[in-house]
Amino acid sequence: MEKQTINEMPWIWTDNVKEKVQEKKRCLYKKLDTREGERDLYKLSRARYRQTQDVVTSLM
């Protein structure tokens, strides 16, 4: 039996859940528009870049 993802289980997406997800996304986008959100994005991209560098250097 294969593992199902949330998107493949439409019965779980009740109206209440949809509203909660939309509210969470709205809050996230509001935060990303602030200076703090920009810093968080920069930190995330820098961390991901460093992870790729670790993989590349370990292959050499």
3-state secondary structure of 1: coil
Q: Look-up: residue for tokens 């997800």?
A: 21
Provide the terminal-to-terminal Cα distance of the chain, rounded to the nearest Å: 39
The pLDDT value recorded for residue 17 is: 86
pLDDT, average across residues 14-37: 91
d(CA 50, CA 10): 37
d(CA 58, CA 16): 47
Query: Do residues 26 and 20 lie in contact, with contact meaning Cβ atoms separated by under 8 Å?
Result: no
pLDDT at 9 over 80: no
Amino acid occupying residue 52? T
